[in-house]
């Protein structure tokens, strides 16, 4: 019986004891291909020797110095590097380092509010986001997002956010509606929601440039983000890009915002930033936001004890160095194309796979009871949960979820393999996924 408070009190989880490359091992010696890194965390795989060296070197020289007294080399180097990789408009920006994606979004929300206050615009306090978005489980970030199941019992404690539609053409495009018309409809809805709420009350819109946990590596239709950016500018609303899951190379570039041709005002990252070697997230503020602070109080009105932690920052900088030295972005693009081809070959005609979508090494199969009507499986069949269980028994760690349709029905399986994978690992991933899905879905044939 575990003494750790896990999410499911009744599950008897195997004990993970070792990781090497793309594999994890439990105490019984069973091997698991880690094809999702939990939720898109382990981009370098496990036990990377250069990471071990970087961590040991840093902990020997300096483990921690509080950020109200000192800056540190690892934090400076990491911030400088991230800013140099960020989209245009971040040139004289800055990065704050915290412990997770949720905290990064808390910092982003506070920064957005502070930006307006510094400019004497005290009314702007509301946050907008998209339905079925997920921005973290802390109360602020949970309140900003639209994840209905995770919000449910905390609803009375959450901030008064404003939700607009997600960009989900496969499900929400109308019959005969082109992607372009769908995009126009969503942008009109955004404008109407702003107008109805009172633009002068809105601080920021928070969006995942590619939706992850809830909608499964779902990219927007062309032109959507440029339209969103223009509307935010028109109404003086800040744009926060939550790249916690999709960023840091997962989709083939360090920032999906750059792929979409936009400069957000604030970008948040985590997961692949520390690659699982250290818990770390960052809120990156553009020049525009930092200028408002310089022109105003000259302070970031926020702080956490472990901000800018030296070992976490050294780990993240080492992740970026390893990525560069080994051209891992190139790997993501090459392997991503291969993974897409393998998934389409294996599942393109599958009677229960309605949509195959993704970018880079971030791919999802959306499962349906009926391909023609896109009818999802009944919630009580718990298809995602069963696939997760069977896949783990088959030695595959993937990331199935339920609830992509309004937080209730709708199952999908997401994979996010490490950037150090080989073609053989991708073959093993697809084979094991096929066996696991067939094991669960064959009874519905
Ligand atoms: N934002 C996005 C897009 C996420 O996918 C997640 C986690 O899945 C978070 C924020 C929260 O990150 P964390 O779990 O590190 O707090």
- The answer to whether 303 touches 67, Cβ cutoff 8 Å, is yes
What is the location of CATH 3.90.1150.10 in the chain?
Answer: 16-34+327-444
Question: Does 135 contact ligand 1 (Cβ within 6 A)?
Answer: yes
User: What's the confidence (pLDDT) of residue 412?
Assistant: 97
Closest CA to 260 of 207, 182, 334: 207
Q: Which atom belonging to ligand 1 lies closest to the Cα atom of 211? A: 3
- The answer to whether 328 touches 254, Cβ cutoff 8 Å, is no
- The answer to whether 64 touches 309, Cβ cutoff 8 Å, is yes
- What is the per-residue pLDDT across 217-238, written as a single tens digit (0 to 9) for each? 999 999 999 999 999 999 999 9
For a mutational test of ligand 1's pocket, the pick from 104, 139, 144, 245, i.e. the residue with the most ligand atoms closer than 8 A to its C-beta, is 245
Tokens 């499962």, residue located: 367
Question: Does 99 contact ligand 1 (Cβ within 6 A)?
Answer: no
- The answer to whether 50 touches 318, Cβ cutoff 8 Å, is yes
Q: What is the third-level CATH fold of 53-326?
A: 3.40.640
Taking the whole predicted model, whether its pTM rises above 0.90 is answered as: yes
ipTM: 0.99
User: What's the confidence (pLDDT) of residue 11?
Assistant: 85
User: What's the confidence (pLDDT) of residue 7?
Assistant: 83
CATH of domain 16-34+327-444: 3.90.1150.10
User: What's the confidence (pLDDT) of residue 445?
Assistant: 58
Q: Which atom belonging to ligand 1 lies closest to the Cα atom of 271? A: 15
Spans of the chain below 50 pLDDT: none
What is the location of CATH 3.40.640.10 in the chain?
Answer: 53-326
- The answer to whether 440 touches 383, Cβ cutoff 8 Å, is yes
Cα–Cα distance for residue pair 274/276, rounded to 1 Å = 5
Task: Tell me the CA distances in angstroms from 193 to 188, 231, 233, 300, one per residue in order.
Answer: 9, 12, 15, 30
Question: Does 136 contact ligand 1 (Cβ within 6 A)?
Answer: yes
């Amino acid at each position: 019986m575990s003494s750790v408070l896990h999410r499911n009190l009744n599950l008897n989880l195997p004990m993970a004891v070792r990781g090497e490359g793309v594999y994890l091992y439990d105490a019984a010696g069973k091997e698991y291909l880690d094809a999702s890194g939990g939720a898109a965390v382990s981009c370098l795989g496990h036990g990377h020797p250069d990471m071990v060296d970087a961590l040991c070197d840093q902990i020997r020289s300096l483990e921690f110095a509080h950020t109200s007294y000192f800056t540190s080399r690892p934090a400076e180097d990491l911030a400088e590097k991230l800013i140099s990789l960020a989209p245009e408009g971040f040139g004289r920006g800055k990065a704050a380092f915290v412990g997770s994606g949720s905290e990064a979004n808390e910092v982003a929300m506070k920064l957005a509010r502070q930006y307006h206050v510094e400019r004497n615009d005290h009314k702007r306090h509301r946050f907008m986001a998209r339905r079925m978005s997920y921005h973290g489980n802390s109360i602020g970030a949970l309140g900003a997002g639209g994840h209905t199941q995770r919000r449910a019992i905390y609803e009375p404690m959450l901030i008064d956010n404003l939700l607009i539609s997600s960009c989900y053409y496969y499900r929400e495009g109308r019959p005969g509606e082109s992607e372009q018309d769908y995009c126009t409809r969503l942008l009109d809805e955004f404008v109407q929601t702003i107008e109805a709420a009172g633009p002068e009350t809105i601080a920021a819109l928070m969006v995942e440039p590619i939706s992850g946990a809830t909608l499964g590596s779902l990219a927007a239709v062309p032109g959507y983000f440029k339209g969103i950016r223009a509307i935010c500018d028109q109404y003086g609303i800040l744009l926060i890009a939550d790249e916690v899951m999709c960023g840091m190379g997962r989709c083939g570039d360090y920032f999906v915002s750059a792929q979409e041709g936009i400069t957000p005002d604030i970008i948040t990252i985590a997961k692949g930033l520390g690659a699982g070697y250290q818990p770390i997230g960052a809120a990156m503020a553009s020049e525009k936001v930092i200028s408002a602070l310089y022109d105003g109080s000259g302070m970031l009105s926020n702080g956490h004890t472990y901000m800018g932690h030296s070992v976490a920052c050294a780990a993240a900088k080492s992740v970026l160095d390893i990525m560069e030295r080994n051209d891992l972005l190139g790997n993501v693009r090459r392997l991503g194309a291969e993974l897409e081809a393998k998934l389409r070959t294996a599942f393109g005609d599958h009677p229960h796979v309605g949509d195959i979508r993704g970018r880079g090494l971030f791919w999802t199969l959306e499962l349906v009871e009926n391909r023609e009507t896109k009818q999802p499986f009944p919630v009580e069949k718990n298809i995602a949960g069963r696939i997760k269980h069977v896949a783990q028994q088959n030695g595959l760690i993937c990331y199935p979820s339920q609830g992509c349709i309004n937080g209730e029905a709708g199952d999908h399986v997401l994979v996010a393999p490490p950037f150090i994978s080989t073609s053989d690992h991708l073959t093993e991933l697809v084979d094991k996924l096929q066996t696991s899905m067939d094991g669960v879905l064959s009874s519905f044939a």
